[in-house]
Amino acid sequence: MKIMTMPTRPFPGQKPGTSGLRKKVREFAQPGYLENFVQSIFDTLGDCRGKTLLLGGDGRYFNDKAIQTVLRMAAAAGYARVMVGRNGILSTPAASAVIRKRGLSGGIILSASHNPGGPDADFGIKYNLGNGGPASESFTEAVYRRTQEISEYRMLEARDINLGHIAETTLGEMAVSIFDPVADYAELLESLFDFEKISELFVRDGFRMRFDALHAVTGPYAKAILENRLGALEGTVINAVPLPDFGGGHPDPNPVYAAGLVAEVSSPGSMLSFGAASDGDGDRNMVIGPNFVVGPSDSLAVLAANHSLIPAYAGRLAGVARSMPTSRAVDRVAEELGIPCFETPTGWKFFGNLLDAGKATLCGEESSGAGSNHLREKDGIWAVLYWLNILASRGETVEQIVRGHWRRFGRHYYSRHDYEALDAAGAEMLFACLRDVLPSLPGKPVSKTKVRMADDFAYLDPIDGSRSERQGVRIMLDDGSRIVFRLSGTGTEGATLRIYLERYESDPECLAIPVQEALTPLIQLAGELARITEITGRTRPDVIS
């Protein structure tokens, strides 16, 4: 088999965003597009000879083709071995677990996460380092620079490999190990939680739950862990077969896209006490009880406040970390525990250094992401097991646990409003105007309070000293309320404006106000300051979460 050197020309726009490069499938499927990006990763890494790479994806449309391409290119780059999840499928947290457990040099993960899949939908790719976590900004910047100057890529001339069976095979001189995607991951999770206690909950107490895998990657993992290992009834995991188009659904675990799950758990006479779902690549989670959806920021705070019930974390919480727009509910828990709380830009890559340095143990984002130092990605099934462990230990309902948390710490009313597929130039202008007015805002009266400070968040990484600018415009009010504006870095169509709204309330009489109502003055202020309707023509957000 020979290695071919193919001439190529740069494609514009191969700039990784919050979590890798995400584009429409038709863009990725252009001859040379994927190849250019993969070659740019290998060129940035330097000498790959003798190393072992992990390869897998969330199983979406184009995953199978892309896996064969990356394998041929890895062989040409001189990798000694590539480990591939069976059928080329691996959840993002499982990929992180395998890289760490087996000491691999890194991994290529093919995923567009919660974005829809199919020929007209999205695809994505990212590189994870030897610590199992997403590459840093400096690495992704270097890859981007390389994509702008690339003139050739290298590929082994070879047949497709059958990835359907667990086996060792070769591609030219490179070994290819096709392995069971579930085993390492399940073993890791079992080492963190009290599986005996959770299993008693299912088997002895007859606890019933639903896990909706949304036809995305977590089905086989959830079945193996919840049904086979923990003894939950067969049928606990629904939509468990990963499909290339996620069954036509949107693999985003929120009450809108997992509406069926919410309805089932909340239906009168339902035997279900708990519901959960995960996203396309298995790193996000949603947790619900009957007629009660746990907000992701609250969930993080509850996980931290209950860490002493979990074998892996009891007495071992060094610190917590959250992305800047995530509500500050967890900050209050950290304060009471006397541990630090770090505030990072959006995206899991910013937690990596804190986790590696042992500064943070639990991390989370408002976008349904939570995780810990057990790996270097957020982890959907981990969060579900953590909640199950809490439920098994406390014997209370999901709603009782969250309401009790609010009584103890106060409630951070929180919501995110998304304006999707905006004209990109208009969105840029909106931010330029917003940045212009920031200096004039302090002192401005807003309902019963006033603006305390307004800035554009910049992050100085306490471990490596790197600086990331322009990570979101923040407007803080005197009463502790806050509005954050940022542009999404994962969308594939125009620009998506995200507005994060937060208001703290400690009065025990005011803990049950409908969320949007509690946030009304902030919603109005956000609209005014950013001149949303005037600049974008939109009168309401597309998605409220």
47, two tokens = 């000498």
Q: Report the alpha-carbon distance of residue 394 to residue 316 in Å, rounded.
A: 20
The yes or no reply on residue 494 touching ligand VG1 (CB under 6 A) is: no
At its nearest, how many Å lie between ligand VG1 and the CB of residue 430? 16
> Residue with CB nearest ligand VG1?
113
Here the tokens at position 332 are 């209050």
- Under the binding rule (CB under 6 A), the answer on residue 113 touching ligand VG1 is yes
Q: Which is nearer to Co ion, 36 or 111 (CB)?
A: 111
Name which position in 18, 44, 63, 87 contacts ligand VG1 (CB under 6 A).
18
Could you tell me the smallest distance in angstroms from the CB atom of residue 279 to Co ion? 4
Q: How far is the CB of 400 from ligand VG1 (least distance, A)?
A: 28
Site size toward Co ion, by CB under 5 A: 5
Distance CA(249)–CA(117), nearest Å, equals 8
188 token code pair: 């890791």
> Considering the rule CB under 6 A, would residue 365 count as an interface residue with ligand VG1?
yes
Burial annotation 229-250 (CB, 10 A radius, 16+ → b, else e): ebbbeeebbbbbebbbbbeebb
Instruction: Tell whether residue 19 is a contact of ligand VG1 (CB under 6 A).
Output: yes
Residue closer to ligand VG1, measured from CB, 18 or 415: 18
Q: According to the binding rule CB under 6 A, does residue 63 interact with ligand VG1?
A: no
Q: Point out which span in 72-80, 171-179, 486-494, 519-527 binds ligand VG1 (CB under 6 A).
A: 486-494
Instruction: Please state the closest distance from residue 452 (CB atom) to ligand VG1, in A.
Output: 25
3-class DSSP assignment, residue 462:
coil
**CB 326 to Co ion: min, Å:** 16
User: In this structure, what are the phi and psi dihedrals at residue 155, rounded to the nearest 5 degrees?
Assistant: -150, 140
Q: Which residues are catalytic?
A: 113
**Nearest Cα residue to 298 out of 390, 217, 392, 221:** 390
The verdict on 279 binding Co ion (CB under 5 A) reads yes
Q: Are 348 and 375 in contact (CB under 8 A)?
A: no
Q: Which one, 389 or 488, has the nearer CB to ligand VG1?
A: 488
Q: Which residue has the tokens 């500064």?
A: 359
**Contacts with ligand VG1, 323-352, as mask; x by CB under 6 A:** x----------------------xxx----
Helix 398-409 to helix 296-305 angle, to the nearest 10 degrees?
A: 80
* 86: three-class secondary structure by DSSP: strand
Report d(CA 49, CA 77) in Å as an integer: 7
Helices (H), 159-238: 183-190, 195-203, 219-222
- Residues of the shown chain interacting with Co ion in the complex, contacts defined by CB under 5 A: 113, 279, 281, 283-284
- Residues of the shown chain interacting with ligand VG1 in the complex, contacts defined by CB under 6 A: 18-19, 113-114, 279, 283-284, 323, 346-348, 365, 367, 369, 488-490, 498
